[in-house]
Each structure stands twice: as C-alpha cells, then as structure tokens.
Structure 1
Amino acid sequence: MVQKQPLRVERRLSAILAADVAGYSRLMHNDEEATHTELTALLTDAVYPALTEHGGRVVKHTGDGFLAEFPSAVEAVRTAMHFQARIKELTVDDMEGSRLAFRVGINIGDVIVEPHDIFGDSVNIAARLESIAEPGGICISASAYDQVLGKIAAEFVDLGEQRLKNIARPIRAFKVVDPGAPARQRRTLALPDKPSIVVLPFQNLSADPEQEYFADGVVEDITMALSRFHWLFVIACNSSFTYKGRAVDVKQVGRELGIRYVLGGSVRKAGNRVRIASQLIDAETGAHLWADRFEGVLQDMFDLQDHVTASVVGAIAPKLQIAEIKRAKHKPTENLDAYDHYLRGLARARRWTREANGEALQLFCKAIALDRALACAYGMAAWCFVRRKARGWMVEHVQESAEATRLARKAVHIGRDDPVALCFGGYALAFIAHDFDDAAAVMDRGLAVNPNLAQAWLLSSWLRVWRGEPDLAIDHVEKAMRLSPVDPSLYGMLGAAAYAHFLAGRYDMAASYAEKAMRENPTFLLAICAFAASSSLAGQPEKARSGLAQALQCKSDLCASNLKDLAPFRRSEDLVRFEEGLRNAGLPD
C-alpha cells in the first residue's frame, strides 16, 4: 500500500497590512449608497495606486476593508502613509462626521500561503493592531518597527505592550505619526513603567504680581527635588509651564503628557512669610490623593519645599523610607538673596531675546557674587554665553569665550552633585571651548544624578552630534522628548534628531526632521542649514537652494569659513560633509 505524502504547505515571510473603515456599519446605516460609492472611489483613487506604486498586492477584501501583502515592511508602511495622506486630501468632513477613515495595522512575520489567501498568527496580529489604531491612523508591531526605523520619514509613538483579542502573548505596538501634522496635536503617550508626575505652575497669590518669578521658582525646585528620585518619571518644567495661566482639566493633562499624577498649588509671599498650598491629583480618575498647606518664614523656604516634596512622594509610595527622601533633598544655597537673584535669572533666561539674555547673565553673576559656591548659577551664566554665541550676539568673541569657559569649569568643579551645573556647564565646555571629552564626562555624571532632567538630555544629544555619535544622539533626544512632550523648545529636539540622521547618512530623514524644526521655529539657523545640506545630499537641489536662501536671510554673513562657529563638529569628516551639502546649495566661501 502506497502511503500518501502530506501536502507541502507553502510558507513565506511577509509584511501584512490589514485595513478597514472606522464606523462603517453606522455609515452604511445612515446612507448605504453614498457610503458604498465613497468607499469605492477611495479604493480606486487612493488605496490601489499606493499599493501598485509600493509593490503590494490585495490578498482579499473584507467588506469594509482589505488584507494586503508586501515583500517589505518599509513598503507596507509607506503604502499606508501614502494612501492615508491621499484620503485626507480627497475627503471633507461634513456636519454629521460621516467622512470615511481607514484604520491600518501592519505586522511582519511568517504566513501560510494559499492561492487566494494567507493565514497565520502574523496575519491575526496585523488585524488586531488595525482594531486599536485611530481612524485615519496606522499601528505597527515591534517587529515591523525594527525593520522601518530610520528608513522612512516618520515618527513613532511607543504604545507599550498591548493585550490583543485572541492573541496569547502581549504585542508591543507603535503608532506611526503623520510627519505633516502639528507636533503638539499628534502626540498620544503611553504611561511610563514607573510612577509619573507633572508639577503644574503654582498660582501667585501675592499682592505683588512681580513675585511671579518666585512662584515659578518654587515649581522649579519641587520639580527638581522630585526628579532626583530615580524610580519616578517627572515631566520637565518646560512642558508644565505651557499650562501657565490656563484652566486645565487634569485628565486631559494626563493624556497629553502621558502621566498618572498632577501636582498643583499656589504660593503667597508677604513680607518675610511664605505660604505654599498644594494638592496631588490622580490624572486618570480625577481623585484628590492629598492636599495640604505649609507656612513659615522666608528663611525656612527650603524646608517648606522639602515638606511638599516628602508629602507628594509619601502619597505616591507610602512605603518609601524617610532616609531616601532625605537623600533626595538638595538646597542650592543658604543665602536667600543669592537664591532670589538666581530665580530672577531663570525667569529672564526663559525669554529668547538678546536683552533678556543680558539681564539673566547679570542676575546669575550677582547670585554668584552673593554666594561663591552656588554651582547652578555658574552653569546658567555659562549657558547665557552659549546662547550669545549661537545667536551671533557676542561682541568681544575672545574675551567672552574665555569668560564662558571660566564659568563652565567653575560650575563643573564645585557642582559635583548639581545636575544643572554639570549639564549646562558641561555643554558650554563643548560648544564654546570645544573640550568634548570633559563635557561628555561631566554631563553623563549630571544625568546619573538626575535622569529626569529633560533639557540635560537635549543638551547631551547635541553634544553627541558634535562628537559624531548619531545613535547616542537619537537615544538622548528621544528621552528629552518623552520627559517634555509639549516643550516650547521642541524645535531644538527636532534639530538634534536632524543632525543625528545627517551624520548617519539618512539624508531624507534628516531633511524631514529639520523641516519640522523649521515649522516650530522658522529662524532656527542650525535647523535651516541642516535642511539645506540634507536636501542637497539627498538629491533635492531646489529644496536645498531654498533652504540656503532662508539661512542667509537669518545670517547674511554665513559662509564656509565661519561654518564651524555655527556647527562645532569634532570630526573633520563631519564638517566636510556638512560644508559639501551647503556648498552644493550655493553657500559662499
């Protein structure tokens, strides 16, 4: 008896795209013919052309959607971005909200192939990812993310591990962000894997409105104290201050910043007395977890802030040892006059004008004169000179550079446990003194002391750019973006990402990030030059020339001979490549 050989099952590795129309049943119920006609038109005018262009094939239609297969995850994601963007162009919202919008899920994996269908766990995962995508959105698996990262002009939001229906194991998912959407409108952030908190601006209840800087300083100090707990995830003040003067919904704040707890409050300073009132709220439920007020004389200011910090930490983690709280406390100075000048300097330093920068420098220097051991004031004074050089505000370049270097070295010498002194002083050493090795050592030490300092991660990402370390630069800028997701200085983060991709030879990605930075700040010269150089090397000469023209409008004397003042690359080959791109765009000698 001849035994039958088992049928051979054909398998292959594929990228699977699953798509359907959000709310299709409702739309059909409202108007069958119009919905069917519109869906047919979108498939014909948007979806099928994108599939053809990127080498995909429709495996089958599923009523209101379809399943497609690609030989490449990159082409699958490009297809989805292509037709989603085209659909937005073709469709218009009406009063009923009846516009058709596709949800897309993409996965890569092994599939069983039959003549008119594909099967397998990988197909099921793509379909389940589609179900959690937003209308008009794209959700991809970690396996697809690993294949496309750095190869397409898109951003990705980590949605964490997702429990998908009928899938045994959790699947890590990423949202593909429309690169043309405004950055602040498109970020939806998953909760971190540790307790997360934002300290919102405290209301100034003092009779004198000029005391606003004092209330802001209290928020800065409490944020800094909380951020020293390594097991906490603390949103940066740059993002929290965007809510200043606004009536806020704490649940919305939680969603926008991707955090669990919100601390709010008020400060009243009258004569020699200070009162701090604060409350801690669960952003997910809106429940008040703790509220109290602390009152004392001005000389007890730091003790009052310590009480607030300890109470917040105790509410979040009741079992925390008191010793840990004590270790996290840090008083920048015992001299309240020096502290007052330092706070006033911080308030001025937030304003990006030449006049405010000069005022901030004077206030930091006054704080130093009152307390020679105030390391953070040295670091911020050095940072003022960094801005002066970056913005072309220096008058006596040699003398000012020497003073900046002196302040920076003093900051990192006496501020061995002060992350502000280490990170801001360290960056000045790199940008002005070109001492990249010492800068990296002290900035790494500062980040170890306080891993929640978003601006330190941002400065470190720029340092890694100048040192020629693109992978580290991207890692550090991603940390900065997560710690400060609605930062007014987002353009600086996008700019650092642009240069990192430039150094890695990903010129399309570099140009894309630079263009986003320019949208956030049209006068950011570093981003404009990155856009021009990247576009040139990516074979986009018209965009390159347009970018260079914009750069020359910002700095009319920009030329090859002074390029290193703008972009202090440590490696000569990086500067040569940057200069090549700009020369091709028309940069004069």
Structure 2
Amino acid sequence: MQGARFAFGPFVLDPDAGTLVRNDGPVAVSHRGLKLLAALVGRPGEILGKSELMDAAWPGTSVEEGNLTVQIAQLRKLLGPNDDGGEWISTVPRVGYRFTGAVEQLGVAKQKPLPLPDKPSIAVLPFVNVSNDPEQGAFADGLTEDLITDLSRVPGLFVIARNSSFAYKGRAMDVRTIAGDLGVRYLLEGSARRAGGRVRINAQLVDARNGDHMWAERFDRSVDDIFAVQDEVTGKIVEALLGRLRTQPSRTRPRNLEAYDLCVRARRLIDDSPQMAREAHLMLTRAVLLDPDYAEPYRWLAMNHWMGWVHWGGPTEADRGVALELARKAVAIDPNDAGCRWILAYLLAYERCFAEADAEFARAIELDPNEADTWAALSDIAVLAGRVDEGLENIRKAFRLNPFPASWYYLTLGQAQYAAGDYEAAVDTLRRDETYRTSSRRFLAASLAQLGRLDEARAEVELFLVGNPHFTTRHWATTEPFRDAATLEHFVGGFRKAGLPE
C-alpha cells in the first residue's frame, strides 16, 4: 500500500522511508527485518507463509529457511513484548508467522526534498528482472550496481550510492517523489532479461523535473557482451548529461559470469548477520576459484575477515593479516577500482601505516568522488587523527551521497559528534543503532556520561558488555588508529565516566 504508514503500540513503521520509530525516537532495524515487518504489519492477523515472507525479504534470491528464523528472532527482540506481555509476531507451526497486534494505518509522511547539487545529479534505480527465472535477479542487481559505479567515476556528475538506490527496489513510485527523496534531477531506470546465452536490456533516462524521457534504448546482445553494453549505456548517459564523453581508467571486468553472480549475491548478505556473512564467505571463496583475476570477491573477503565474521566472536590477529593481504590483492588486480582502494586504506590505517593509508584514500577519492563509503570510512580515520571538523564534513558528504545508508554511517556520525563535544547530537544519532549494532553503545554511554546522565550511561554500559564481555578501555585505545593524544584522552575520559572497564 504505497505511501502508507502503520502505527502499533509505541511504534510507527514507514516502509517507504525505511524507518521504524518508537515513542518518536528512531529504531535501527536491518533492511531484511524492515521488509519482513512491513509484510506482517501490512496484513495484521493473517498467516503469512514462510515462502511468502522470504520472497518479501529476499526477492529473487534462494536462501535457507534458517535466515528467516534469525530475522524474526531479531525483530521480536527489537520490538519487545506487546501491551499484553506477549509477542507481536506469533509462530504458526510448520506454516509461517502472524502479526498479532492492533495496527492503525496512518497517512503519508511528507519529507522535505533534498536540495539539488550544483552539477548534473542522477540515481540509478534497480533494474527489473523480467526473466522467468527469479535467480536472474542477481544479474539485474549486478547490472544496476555496475552502472552506479561506472557513472560515479565520471567527473562532473553527482551519483547516489547503491544502498539508497536499492531502497526503491520493487516499489512503484512517481519519479518526482523518488528524485525529491534522493535530491537528484535525473533517474535511470530499466529492465534486464538473461536467457539462452542472450541478454536483453531496456534503459531510459528520465528528467524527474518534468517527467520527460531524455534517452531510451534497447540492447539485445550475447551475454558475453554484457560489460560492453554497460560501457555503452554509461557513455550514452554521460553524453546526455554532460554533452560530451569523458573517459575514466578502465576497471578490470570478471571473465566468469558465475563468479560475477556469486559476488553480487554475496554483497547483499555481508552486513545482515554473522550467519549470512558466513554464507557470503562461501560464495566469495567460490568466486575466487572460478575467476582468480576478478578483484571484487577479494575486496569483500577482506572485509569479512577484518570484521571477524569468518570465525565469529571478533577478528583475530591472523584474520586481520589475511584481510590486509586480500585487500592488497584486490588493488593489485584492479588498481582503478575505488572500492578496493578505500578498503585497503581503511585496513592500513588500523595497521598504523598512516602515510600509505592517506595515499590510498586520496587515490580512491580521485578515482571516484561519489563513493559514499570512502567518505564515511575517511571520516572515522580523520576523527581519530584529531581532524574532527574534517571528519564531520566527510560524514556529511557520505550521507548526502547515500541518504539511506547502512547503520555504520550513524555510528561514524555519532563518533564524530562526540569528538566535537556535541553530546546531545551524538545521543540522538547513536540511539538509532540501539540493539541492532551494539558496538555503538560505548559511544552512546560516553556521550550520556559527559552530559551528566550517569544512570542512562550505566544502563548502556551494561547492555554493551552483554555483547562485548571482554571489552577494556585500555585494549580499545591500543587497537584503534588514534593519531592525536587529546582526542584519545577525550574518548577514554568519556568511557571512564560511563563506567566502562579499564
């Protein structure tokens, strides 16, 4: 039900905006969890089968039923008990789930459109999979992501990041509304079909200001020509928006389409949960075996190792060593990929190879100034180096390029606000990550402590230590890539006030 919002208990769910609010305070919920909750709340009292729910959360993707169980458990924990002390979501054995609470449908929530940048601005909406095989959804998603990457590398364009473009997947909305939400003038939309060794792509460029179609074309080629088609579409868009072609250093393309598909599917899973990140690891490892000269799987394997998803419980020294080796391999294979560069830069900073890290960040921005994740990661490193104003500016750039980002953006923003002494803003930001991303609680506790709200700070510390029982301030201070003693002392002082273990 397009544009509808739903109220139940202390919550308001806005599926279109991708937000869940409790008592007027935002609650962080994963992308999959939001999709599941929207499906359940949209049909209260009805039994929704497991296959229907899995289609809602993982459209066009084959996943194990256990992933649905994990997401439902996380939603129950997030929502807590209903007014009667029971669960909002009940299990119907061997069938599915049902939303048991009373739901009130609200009107459309209006949001202020973002201002347009001072350059041609565009968002690439997810291409629709029009084949009869839902497994080809990964192909359509990969095509969309590659077009976003190729366009974002063009000087003179402003390009919305993947995470925010994919917030509109499967949603039929007016182009003017989408463009207003994202703060762009132009939208690229289309469809893709791959079957029998052929690929058919329809693409059109829309001026959202008046709804006019500036360019449209249909491509019917051999599947082996898919990357040539991507280059052609990119060239047509650039010519339409800038009036002339601008070439960028070429990226290394995969030689094996199965490896390409595996990588696209794995990218969706990495941030969902440790269980799904393990599945992503298996997919990426298979992709490397199929195409050892394809940089993308090395890049995401590096992050999987560095985040500790491979062995759970946090990264070991060996994991971080493997992560750095994989990141270097990715850059060696494709030195013109900004995504590979920023991940290497981030890992180098944590190894305290600061000069090399700074050079890699600079090269990543030179290759792709629209890569929002680069700006967000650089914000983290700049703040810990004592360049707090620069860090705040970097994370603001990241949010503008990616208005609907992953939750770690909020952690990074809250950290920067704390470093700037803006504790009230930090509290507002970091509460968005409550329960979902427990690592943010240490900064939330420190911000509350600096405001003198010690009881709240202690409560956050207790919750943080449940998920991080071995945390000590001393160890944290030695592992984070601080370059500024005053900034380090500011964080340590807040942790001490909050009561985090020494």
**TM-score clears 0.5:** yes
SS of 1:230's equivalent in the other structure is coil
Closer, same or farther in 2 for the Cα pair 1:476/1:510, shift >3 Å?
Answer: same
- Aligned-partner Cα distance in 1 for 2:293–2:380: 28
- Partner residue, 1:503: 419
The one-letter code of the counterpart of 1:299 is D
- Partner residue, 2:60: none
SS of 2:307's equivalent in the other structure is helix
CA RMSD of aligned residues (A): 2.5
Aligned match for 1:494, one of 402, 407, 410: 410
1:209 aligned to 2:122?
no
Matched-pair contact (CA < 8 Å) for 1:462–1:473: yes
Pairwise mapping of residues 196-345 of structure 1 onto structure 2 (< 5 A)? 196-317=121-242, 319-321=243-245, 324-325=246-247, 327=248, 330-345=251-266
- Partner residue, 1:367: 287
1:188 aligned to 2:113?
yes
- Aligned-partner Cα distance in 2 for 1:247–1:413: 41
Aligned match for 2:278, one of 358, 371, 387: 358
Matched-pair contact (CA < 8 Å) for 2:381–2:481: no
**Cα drift, residue 237 of structure 1:** 0.8
Aligned match for 1:418, one of 323, 337, 362: 337
Matched-pair contact (CA < 8 Å) for 1:377–1:421: no
Pairwise mapping of residues 55-70 of structure 1 onto structure 2 (< 5 A)? none
**Cα drift, residue 408 of structure 1:** 2.0
Matched-pair contact (CA < 8 Å) for 2:307–2:315: no
**Cα drift, residue 195 of structure 1:** 0.4
Q: Once the two structures are superposed, what CA deviation does each residue of 1:303-331 show, in whole Å capped at 9, x if it has no partner?
A: 111122122222223x303xx24x36534
- Consecutive unaligned residues of structure 1, counting only runs of 5 or more, are 1-87, 89-183
Closer, same or farther in 2 for the Cα pair 1:233/1:419, shift >3 Å?
Answer: same
1:542 aligned to 2:458?
no
Q: Once the two structures are superposed, what CA deviation does each residue of 1:247-268 show, in whole Å capped at 9, x if it has no partner?
A: 1110001111110001111111
Matched-pair contact (CA < 8 Å) for 1:379–1:422: no
SS of 1:388's equivalent in the other structure is coil
**Cα drift, residue 186 of structure 1:** 4.8
The one-letter code of the counterpart of 1:424 is I
- Aligned-partner Cα distance in 1 for 2:471–2:353: 24
Indicate the larger mover: 254-263 or 572-581.
Answer: 572-581
**Cα drift, residue 415 of structure 1:** 3.2
- Aligned-partner Cα distance in 1 for 2:385–2:149: 28
- Aligned-partner Cα distance in 2 for 1:466–1:437: 15
- Partner residue, 1:471: 389
Aligned match for 1:445, one of 360, 363, 383: 363
Give aligned pairs, total: 395
- Aligned-partner Cα distance in 2 for 1:565–1:376: 31
Closer, same or farther in 2 for the Cα pair 1:460/1:330, shift >3 Å?
Answer: same
1:527 aligned to 2:451?
no
SS of 1:268's equivalent in the other structure is strand
Q: Once the two structures are superposed, what CA deviation does each residue of 1:160-180 show, in whole Å capped at 9, x if it has no partner?
A: xxxxxxxxxxxxxxxxxxxxx
Quote the sequence identity (%). Answer: 35
Closer, same or farther in 2 for the Cα pair 1:570/1:187, shift >3 Å?
Answer: farther
**Cα drift, residue 242 of structure 1:** 0.5
Indicate the larger mover: 199-208 or 370-379.
Answer: 370-379
Matched-pair contact (CA < 8 Å) for 2:308–2:319: no
**Cα drift, residue 348 of structure 1:** 2.6
- Aligned-partner Cα distance in 1 for 2:317–2:360: 24
- Consecutive unaligned residues of structure 2, counting only runs of 5 or more, are 1-23, 25-108
- Aligned-partner Cα distance in 2 for 1:466–1:201: 36
- Aligned-partner Cα distance in 2 for 1:479–1:396: 29
The one-letter code of the counterpart of 1:495 is L
**Cα drift, residue 511 of structure 1:** 4.4
- Aligned-partner Cα distance in 2 for 1:551–1:573: 25
- Partner residue, 2:97: none
- Aligned-partner Cα distance in 2 for 1:548–1:369: 44
Indicate the larger mover: 282-291 or 375-384.
Answer: 375-384
The one-letter code of the counterpart of 1:297 is S
- Aligned-partner Cα distance in 2 for 1:472–1:187: 26
- Aligned-partner Cα distance in 2 for 1:301–1:410: 25
**Cα drift, residue 572 of structure 1:** 4.8
Matched-pair contact (CA < 8 Å) for 2:482–2:488: yes
Closer, same or farther in 2 for the Cα pair 1:392/1:531, shift >3 Å?
Answer: farther
- Partner residue, 1:97: none
The one-letter code of the counterpart of 1:346 is R
Closer, same or farther in 2 for the Cα pair 1:355/1:518, shift >3 Å?
Answer: same
Closer, same or farther in 2 for the Cα pair 1:450/1:541, shift >3 Å?
Answer: same
The one-letter code of the counterpart of 1:384 is N
SS of 2:277's equivalent in the other structure is helix
Q: Once the two structures are superposed, what CA deviation does each residue of 1:514-557 show, in whole Å capped at 9, x if it has no partner?
A: 43232255332342211211222233323322322332233233
**Cα drift, residue 185 of structure 1:** 6.6
- Aligned-partner Cα distance in 2 for 1:583–1:501: 18
1:559 aligned to 2:472?
yes
Closer, same or farther in 2 for the Cα pair 1:523/1:565, shift >3 Å?
Answer: farther
Superposition TM-score, scaled by structure 2 size: 0.73
Superposition TM-score, scaled by structure 1 size: 0.62
Matched-pair contact (CA < 8 Å) for 1:494–1:514: no
- Partner residue, 1:518: 431
1:577 aligned to 2:498?
no
Matched-pair contact (CA < 8 Å) for 2:120–2:157: yes
**Cα drift, residue 376 of structure 1:** 3.0
- Aligned-partner Cα distance in 2 for 1:416–1:521: 38
